[in-house]
Structure 1
């Protein structure tokens, strides 16, 4: 039986070393052991599995690095800048806005899904070779496609009907189901129970899979995010945050808190901050003038001196200085390599891509342009395009979204959830609206 989800491979140890170093933790006493064991495991990872767990236990006990990147909500709030926290009382979001958010999220995921494991250069080469563009969903039945790994993730327009299953959408529905069953006062243990009852472990990846494994081993949250988890600052929590912004209009602080309760099941520090930023940004949308203002409000809910805040502020600074969009994306790629697994899926460069697309969208965003820019930027294409589609769709409303993007979703969605495998878009909107209206 292939039980990779239960084991650690050499790449996980190498990622752990990079994660420790990036967090500013002292790696001197473990670096040689991590590198040696990673080499040994490449030959026989079953033999060295126990050694890997013991070594990761040692890594977890290393002193903290960046003191301005705390992991508790109270400490995070002490390190954040001034912000609105809550705007004047707003009514619950309208049906059209929520339908736009869900549909926009689906459209972004659907566009980015076929190429989510590819680099920016591979995406560009594919578009040129097959004479396609990102102004519509991508097809596999075209001349030149046989040069590429077309079955890596699926989702090609001519291969699917409606909205294909994707973990980015699974977690949005999981968040909604948690809110429906437990209310806005849910805690991380409540969320964990929904995961265990609904999600098959082999449909999860990186930090989420590790957290799930920890739950099965009787590890309680938030230790589930730290134990044997090299992926704790990757993008996973950020893609789970949207629904918390949908249900807290005008209350970015509340949205960030809900996203934090979710994120801490599997992530720490910047991994949590990305989720808090996205949720707060969405919650701010009904109360601000444009997308760039929403991006800025989202930042008021994360620590000022965190790596995530610094990176997003760099992007906003480039926009203010008059740098063009493509030049901004080039700058992100100059620092982060999307061909490298750790860097390609780390929360920081992906948050920068999201911020860039939204900051350059202006006051009159176009869904198609925004999605094309998100996918064309590389990195985690379906995650970033899903977040972008969610924000733009929430801002514009469903009636303003082009039919060519929303019609193929076809009303029904596919998920991995045991209790909700084929939800209809309209039902998700209705349920989200009910949660938003609840106290």
Structure 2
């Protein structure tokens, strides 16, 4: 049983620090975004007139705040995807690829994977702070929602990057040691990932006494990206680093963020400037390290040199504010206050004590050793860790029907061709400690065939102190293909229960492609 507590006063200071740091870093870095090279900036380079620059790094998270206020801990990637389509305007890069897939009926994680060359880019990790702020000192909770967020429009390295920073930022509410925090973040992602390699490259350069300029070269050679070439002519590009694969940008930019943190030596201004001066996705790298240092030190540790020029306001860039449905905070203070009001219901009474404190609620947080990723015992036979979640195929789509949950495993990208048999797997987990009989009924396009049959029964067992799992494979053969897209529905009924689970499956007529 945890006994460590985070007071409301300390929580509020760190929340303010997070969002102020995000605003400062994003404003500093915005003019240098998509540029490759080494810069020599030590302060803002534009006239601000008391306001920050608009930045997608922050305003996307204002939409997620609205989702969390409505759905709480029940929010899912599918819900986030619907909000994305409704309220987020840009169609560039991974944002556009994810939206295009969602419009076609492909739900997460398929929406983040299919035909998405930017799935390994930076658009997910820049929105990690909201989950850390809603789960301070509980990184195991923060990464759960960071994953749901990232798979809407990213895959692989793009997902790992958001999880890495969400874990760090959540732990930073209760742990201030830089190396410990980096290790906590690494514990939640694959050790052989590109993000982990980018972090290791930055740490190696720092340990060997290289300058930050040399560290930049090492990182961009170890995990080459291409974000810094987007706003430059090829003939103007420096020759000290290679051009990486299009869209493979999270590993290098995470590494640059770590360079800023290491070489900044805990100084807020130095850290964000070094990250910015390494180029590439500068508003993202500077804003992320700004938010981390803002959480560690609290709002009062951010120098007024940085805060006075931009004030308290939030400027949006990417949001649909014309349609009703969102309530967007206009200031950092309003954003902070709304999170403070939301956290007790989001975390629940097991972690937030709203009864006994005299100075506002307290939040139960993890002890230091518990901040790292750990496997959890599900029952006498089963342990699961967050690594198990990350090892799942990007073709597995999850559904929850209260008394049972289901995973549809497409096994590969959802493309079909005339007369070619397609096999999918459905995995059912019993969420009751009692046996169930399930009936599967398929609704298929005319002329299609399916084995073992369009109507079958299956037992969903319950073993002593252990809920059961049933896995079924279905193979169908499409015929008479005339449409570009086909929708299938499998109807799953638990006998003697009112629950009826309807799962839509979407397939595109054409050759398989990412």
Shift of 1:357: 1.6
Report the equivalent of 1:79: none
Shift of 1:337: 5.6
Give the Cα–Cα distance (whole angstroms) in 1 for the partners of residues 34 and 254 of structure 2.
17
Aligned residue among 270, 286, 290 for 1:369:
270
The secondary structure found in structure 2 opposite 1:309 is: helix
| Change in 2 beyond 3 A, CA 1:184/1:98 | same
The answer (yes or no) to whether the contact 1:276–1:298 under 8 Å persists in 2 is: yes
Report the equivalent of 2:30: 113
What TM-score, normalized by structure 1, do the two folds share?
0.68
The answer (yes or no) to whether the contact 1:345–1:379 under 8 Å persists in 2 is: no
1:354-379 residue CA offsets vs partner (Å, 9 max, x unmatched): 122223333xx221111110110111
Report the equivalent of 1:408: 309
Report the equivalent of 1:432: 339
Structure 1 consecutive aligned stretches of length 4 or more whose deviation exceeds 6 Å: none
1:334 aligns with 2:241: no
Give the Cα–Cα distance (whole angstroms) in 2 for the partners of residues 361 and 344 of structure 1.
28
1:394 aligns with 2:283: no
Report the equivalent of 2:112: 225
1:348 aligns with 2:235: no
Report the equivalent of 1:299: 186
Give the Cα–Cα distance (whole angstroms) in 2 for the partners of residues 164 and 103 of structure 1.
13
Structure 2 unaligned segments of length 5 or more: list them. 231-244, 349-514
Give the Cα–Cα distance (whole angstroms) in 2 for the partners of residues 204 and 408 of structure 1.
31
Q: Which has the higher helix share?
A: 1
| Change in 2 beyond 3 A, CA 1:343/1:228 | closer
Shift of 1:387: 0.4
Number of aligned positions between the proteins? 322
Q: How does 1:255-294 map to 2 (within 5 A)?
A: 255-294=142-181
What TM-score, normalized by structure 2, do the two folds share?
0.59
Give the Cα–Cα distance (whole angstroms) in 2 for the partners of residues 242 and 180 of structure 1.
16
Shift of 1:422: 5.9
1:357 aligns with 2:260: yes
The secondary structure found in structure 1 opposite 2:135 is: coil
Aligned residue among 318, 325, 349 for 2:205:
318
1:161-207 residue CA offsets vs partner (Å, 9 max, x unmatched): 5123221112222222222221133110111122233222xx24211
1:15-62 residue CA offsets vs partner (Å, 9 max, x unmatched): xxxxxxxxxxxxxxxxxxxxxxxxxxxxxxxxxxxxxxxxxxxxxxxx
The secondary structure found in structure 1 opposite 2:264 is: coil
The answer (yes or no) to whether the contact 2:36–2:229 under 8 Å persists in 1 is: no
The secondary structure found in structure 1 opposite 2:173 is: helix
The answer (yes or no) to whether the contact 1:89–1:250 under 8 Å persists in 2 is: no
Q: Which has the higher strand share?
A: 2
The secondary structure found in structure 2 opposite 1:286 is: coil
The answer (yes or no) to whether the contact 1:292–1:358 under 8 Å persists in 2 is: no
Shift of 1:228: 1.8
Shift of 1:420: 4.2
Give the Cα–Cα distance (whole angstroms) in 2 for the partners of residues 87 and 108 of structure 1.
34
Shift of 1:421: 5.3
Report the equivalent of 1:99: 16
1:334-364 residue CA offsets vs partner (Å, 9 max, x unmatched): 34365445568610000101122223333xx
Structure 1 unaligned segments of length 5 or more: list them. 1-85, 125-132, 140-156
Shift of 1:278: 0.4
CA RMSD of aligned residues (A): 2.2
Report the equivalent of 1:207: 94
The secondary structure found in structure 2 opposite 1:287 is: coil
Give the Cα–Cα distance (whole angstroms) in 2 for the partners of residues 372 and 87 of structure 1.
38
The secondary structure found in structure 2 opposite 1:382 is: helix
The answer (yes or no) to whether the contact 1:256–1:280 under 8 Å persists in 2 is: yes
The secondary structure found in structure 2 opposite 1:137 is: coil
Greater Rg over alpha carbons, structure: 2
The structure, 1 or 2, with the larger RCO (C-alpha pairs under 8 Å, 6+ apart) is 1
Give the Cα–Cα distance (whole angstroms) in 2 for the partners of residues 87 and 195 of structure 1.
36
Aligned residue among 179, 187, 192 for 2:76:
187
1:91-120 residue CA offsets vs partner (Å, 9 max, x unmatched): 265211111110010000001111112222
The answer (yes or no) to whether the contact 1:413–1:423 under 8 Å persists in 2 is: yes
Report the equivalent of 2:281: 380
Report the equivalent of 1:55: none
1:278-327 residue CA offsets vs partner (Å, 9 max, x unmatched): 00000111332322321111111111222221221232233333333332
Shift of 1:430: 0.7
Give the Cα–Cα distance (whole angstroms) in 2 for the partners of residues 428 and 354 of structure 1.
24
1:236 aligns with 2:139: no
Shift of 1:88: 5.8
| Change in 2 beyond 3 A, CA 1:344/1:234 | closer
